[in-house]
Structure 1
Amino acid sequence: MNAAVKAFLITIGTLSIGLGVIGIVVPLLPTTPLILLGAVCYVKSSETLYQKLIKNKWLGAYIKDFREKKGISRKNKILSLILMWLSIGGTVLFMDVSFLLGSILIIIAVTVSAYILSFDTL
């Protein structure tokens, strides 16, 4: 893997994990999917960062639950879906967005919902 791609993946992984951590306390950001995205980026770019992440006492459980049990807890699934739909729904309904942008946001929400629901519930 070339250095630019590796740096890009590390950057995206770090931003994703940062947003996931913020999502623990800010209800508009889904924690689990962001932490998992960060883990995937780290797996592909830096074994050291991935090991630090899965050994982290707060964030490691998200990844271990998903990796070992191939699922997401019911609480995290419900919370992720509710918060995603509230944030996207609120944006579409209360912000001045074009029909095209609103349609794209709804398509994204439906797609992400289907993806989250496709995982087993722990």
Structure 2
Amino acid sequence: MYLLTAAGLLSLALGIIGMFLPVLPTTPFVLLAAGCFAKSSPRLHLWLRNSSLFGNILVNWETKRCIPAKSKALAITMIVLFGGSSVLFAVPSGAPQIGAGLLVLIGLVVVLRLKTC
């Protein structure tokens, strides 16, 4: 129980940091934190669901398994801009570049397949 609570707090911290760092995603970490809290701390889970910052996203995900169109568009834009520029300019040519490109492509496919609210 304490391990899940700690994992939830760490995930939430990473999600909050991700709001300011474009290479770190916010939504997956917040969803992971909510999942950890749901199993370990109903009080923290309720607090996160009722937060003005993340509550709407969590309620939509938990009830309808969908994300808002604005969040989806932002995620796609960030993946293409930052993931694509990283692959083109920051990753060494050859196998590392191909591997990084595949990871960016997988992330893009995952986001595109999510249901939009």
Fold equivalence (TM over 0.5): yes
CA gap of 1:47–1:105, structure 2 versus 1, over 3 A, is: farther
Q: How does 1:1-122 map to 2 (within 5 A)?
A: 6-7=2-3, 9-97=4-92, 99-122=94-117
CA gap of 1:63–1:106, structure 2 versus 1, over 3 A, is: same
Moved over 6 A (4+): none
The DSSP-based 3-state class of the residue aligned with 2:92 is: coil
Q: Which range moves more in the overlay, 48-57 or 95-104? A: 95-104
> What is the aligned-residue RMSD (CA, Å)?
2.4
Uncovered stretches (5+) of structure 1, i.e. residues with no partner: none
**Paired residue type of 1:59:** F
Uncovered stretches (5+) of structure 2, i.e. residues with no partner: none
Number of aligned residues: 117
The DSSP-based 3-state class of the residue aligned with 1:111 is: helix
- Percent of pairs identical after alignment? 32
CA gap of 1:69–1:46, structure 2 versus 1, over 3 A, is: same
